[in-house]
Amino acid sequence: MTGHFTPGDTVKASVERSLFEGIRREQERDAPPEGFPALPVIPGGRYTDPAFLELETRHLWKRSWLYALHTDELPKPGSFRLWKKTGSPIIIIRGKDQRVRAFYNTCRHRGAPLVEAEKGETKGFFCRYHGWTYDLDGRLVAVREKRDFPGMDTSCLGLAEVRCEQLGNWVFVNEDPDAEPLCDSLAPVPGHWEHLEFERHRHIASASYEIACNVKILLDAFLETYHLKSIHPQTVDRFLDSRGTHVVLWPRGHSLMVTPHRRAEWRDPGAAGMPEIDSAEEIFARQNPSYNLYPNLVTPPSSTGTPFITFWPRTPRSMTVDVHWFAPEGAEGHELWPTRMSNFERILEEDTQFAPRIQQSVETAGFKGMYLSYQERRIYHWHEELDRRIGADRVPSSLRIQPLMEPFLERT
Ligand code: FES
Ligand SMILES: [Fe+2]
Domain co-membership, 134 together with 227? no
Give the closest ligand to the alpha carbon of residue 235: 2
pLDDT at position 272, please? 80
Largest Cα separation within the chain, whole Å, is 79
Domain co-membership, 104 together with 221? no
Domain co-membership, 23 together with 128? no
On whether the CB atoms of residues 379 and 370 are closer than 8 A, the answer is yes
User: Cα dihedral angle (223, 288, 241, 268), rounded to 10 degrees?
Assistant: 120
Cα-to-centroid distance, 162 and ligand 1 (Å)? 20
The domain that contains 315 carries what CATH number?
3.90.380.10
Closest by alpha carbon to 410, among 235, 282, 256?
Answer: 256
pTM over 0.85: yes
- Label residues 6-28 b or e (16+ Cβ within 10 Å = b): eeeeeeeebbbbbbbebbeebee
Domain co-membership, 121 together with 47? no
Rounded Cα gap, residues 136 and 112, in angstroms: 17
Domain co-membership, 258 together with 366? yes
Task: Please indicate, yes or no, if residue 181 is contained in any of the structural domains.
Answer: no
Strands 161-167 and 170-174: antiparallel
Task: Please indicate, yes or no, if residue 210 is contained in any of the structural domains.
Answer: yes
pLDDT at position 203, please? 98
Distance of CA 259 to the CA centre of its chain: 19
Who surrounds ion ligand 2 at CB < 5 A? 221, 351
Cα-to-centroid distance, 278 and ligand 1 (Å)? 54
pLDDT at position 200, please? 93
- Tally Cβ neighbours within 10 Å of residue 184: 10
**Cβ contacts of residue 201 below 8 Å, gap of 6+?**
168, 169, 305, 306, 326, 327, 328, 329
Domain co-membership, 372 together with 316? yes
Domain co-membership, 244 together with 270? yes
State which of 174, 203, 233 marks the end of a domain: 174
State which of 174, 208, 233 marks the end of a domain: 174
Task: Please indicate, yes or no, if residue 5 is contained in any of the structural domains.
Answer: no
Closest Cα to atom 4, ligand 1: which residue? 130
Cα-to-centroid distance, 373 and ligand 2 (Å)? 16
Cα-to-centroid distance, 350 and ligand 2 (Å)? 7
Domain co-membership, 260 together with 362? yes
Rounded Cα gap, residues 5 and 210, in angstroms: 46
Closest by alpha carbon to 203, among 118, 337, 324, 66?
Answer: 324
Domain co-membership, 250 together with 286? yes
For 233-284, the pLDDT digits (tens) are 999 999 899 999 999 999 999 999 999 999 877 777 778 889 888 888 888 8
Domain co-membership, 59 together with 75? no
Probe ligand 1: pick from 130, 134, 146, max atoms within 8 Å of CB? 130
As for ligand 1, residues whose beta carbon falls within 6 Å of it are 107, 109-112, 127, 129-132
Domain co-membership, 282 together with 150? no
Q: Burial level of 338, CB count in 10 A (0-12/13-18/19+)? A: exposed
Our count of domains for the chain comes to 2
Instruction: Give the number of residues written for the chain.
Output: 412
pLDDT at position 324, please? 98
Task: Please indicate, yes or no, if residue 134 is contained in any of the structural domains.
Answer: yes
State which of 152, 174, 196 marks the end of a domain: 174
Task: Please indicate, yes or no, if residue 351 is contained in any of the structural domains.
Answer: yes
Task: Please indicate, yes or no, if residue 2 is contained in any of the structural domains.
Answer: no
Give the closest ligand to the alpha carbon of residue 132: 1
Q: How far is CA 320 from CA 62, 90, 214, 355, in A?
A: 17, 18, 10, 12
Cα-to-centroid distance, 106 and ligand 1 (Å)? 9
Task: Please indicate, yes or no, if residue 130 is contained in any of the structural domains.
Answer: yes
The number of C-alpha atoms within 13 Å of 131 and in the hemisphere containing its C-beta is: 5
Question: End-to-end alpha-carbon separation of the chain, Å?
Answer: 7
pLDDT at position 4, please? 42
Low-confidence stretches of the chain (pLDDT < 70) are 1-11
- Tally Cβ neighbours within 10 Å of residue 81: 22
Ligand 1: nearest atom to the Cα of 130? 3
Rounded Cα gap, residues 137 and 78, in angstroms: 10
Q: What are phi and psi of 216, to 5 degrees?
A: -75, -25
Domain co-membership, 248 together with 295? yes
Q: Domain range spanning residue 162?
A: 66-174
Rounded Cα gap, residues 197 and 80, in angstroms: 26
Looking at residue 231, the DSSP 8-state letter turns out to be H
The domain that contains 111 carries what CATH number?
2.102.10.10
**Cβ contacts of residue 85 below 8 Å, gap of 6+?**
66, 68, 312
Task: Please indicate, yes or no, if residue 88 is contained in any of the structural domains.
Answer: yes
